[in-house]
Amino acid sequence: MSSWDLQGKTAVVCGASQGIGFATAKLLAERGARVIALARNEDNLKSLIASLSKGPHKYFAVDLADTESLKKILPSLAQEQIHILVNNAGGPKGGPLLEASIEEFEAPLRAHLVAAHLLVQTVVPSMKASKYGRIVNIISTSVKNPIPGLGVSNTIRGAMANWSKTLAGELGPYGITVNNMLPGYIRTGRIESLMGSAAQKSGSTVDQVEEQWIKTIPAGRIGDPAEAAEGIAFLVSPAASYINGINLPVDGGRTPSL
Ligand code: NAD
């Protein structure tokens, strides 16, 4: 068994119905993991599960921002032997921080921080029992450099990163690591929608916005979800056993800080 191999591991992947979560579920299954996919859309989840290699995989259709619904599936997850948890949900809507209402913080806080916290509390007992745990949170490079115009998002991402770092210290002694993957510009529904709003605001076309954004990326292109998934697949693998409490940007070199 190579140290990238995930055979015998069960992975909970959140936000798995599209984008980076979808690519991650596919890659972890290819590497041998049994996947438990979480997202809101049951039809998308069904087709994801049908497309995965090996198995048996399963899914729960749940809105992570709906804490009461999430709580209903936790007892089933607690019955499973989980080795890997990938926390992920849709990005909060953009806009200047000063204009954000209190209500605008609430759903993203539940979908990201509250959901991740409840899921960690649910899966950690089985991770401790098997002395193997890998928790990866999909956050954003904004935890290193806040992104102008993404006020609520920057705030929630910062909270997630500090939550994650604190947990890394608490769970490290049990063979459990907690790390963050920070996507740069990755071609998914999220980036298409951010490009659309930027184009609208600046009166330019989406293609012009894309051209401008690409100029900020040393790699000279927007990333592919599969490339973001590779970063996650490494962090959850046995090979990454001594990597704990880090932020891994997958951004083609765009983030200007270390
Ligand atoms: P995406 O919008 O394409 O996919 C998000 C996934 O989460 C989908 O499967 C969606 O159905 C699911 N989801 C959203 N809200 C949910 C909820 N309340 N409950 C359950 N499932 C929910 O996003 P993506 O591009 O794959 O990005 C993943 C994360 O990384 C997001 O938080 C995003 O903001 C962040 N991010 C993405 C980029 C990028 O370039 N794509 C850059 C920086 C940060």
Q: Is residue 202 part of a domain?
A: no
pLDDT confidence of residue 187: 97
Q: Calculate how far, in angstroms, residue 223's C-alpha sits from the geometric centre of ligand 1.
A: 15
Rounded to two decimals, the pTM is: 0.98
Residue 65 Cβ inside 6 Å of ligand 1? The answer reads: yes
| 146 domain residue, yes or no | yes
The total of structural domains in the chain comes to: 1
193 falls within a domain = no
Q: Tell me if 204 is assigned to some domain.
A: no
pLDDT band of residue 160 (cuts 50, 70, 90) is very high
Would 203 be classed as within a structural domain?
Answer: no
Q: Note whether 169 and 212 are within 8 A (CB).
A: no
Q: How confident is the model at residue 54 (pLDDT cuts 50, 70, 90)?
A: confident
**Residue 111 within any structural domain of the chain:** yes
CB 42 within 8 A of CB 70: no
Place of tokens 């932020």: 247
210: in domain: no
Q: Is the CB of 15 under 6 A from ligand 1?
A: yes
CA distance 234 to 226: 12
CATH classification at residue 172: 3.40.50.720
Q: How far is the CA of 141 from the centre of ligand 1 (A)?
A: 14
Helix 189-202 crosses helix 206-215 at what angle (to 10 degrees)? 110
pLDDT band at 1 (very low <50, low <70, confident <90, very high): low
pLDDT, mean over the chain: 96
pLDDT score for 228: 98
What CA–CA distances, in Å, run from 253 to 144, 184, 187? 13, 9, 16
Per-residue pLDDT tens for 66-122?
Answer: 999 999 999 999 999 999 999 999 999 899 999 999 999 999 999 999 999 999 999
Ligand 1 midpoint to CA 92 (Å): 9
| 25 Cβ inside 6 Å of ligand 1 | no
The C-alpha atoms of residue 6 and residue 29 are separated, in whole angstroms, by: 8
Domain hosting 93: range is: 10-185+224-250
Residue 52 has pLDDT above 70, yes or no: yes
Residue 86: strand, helix, or coil: strand
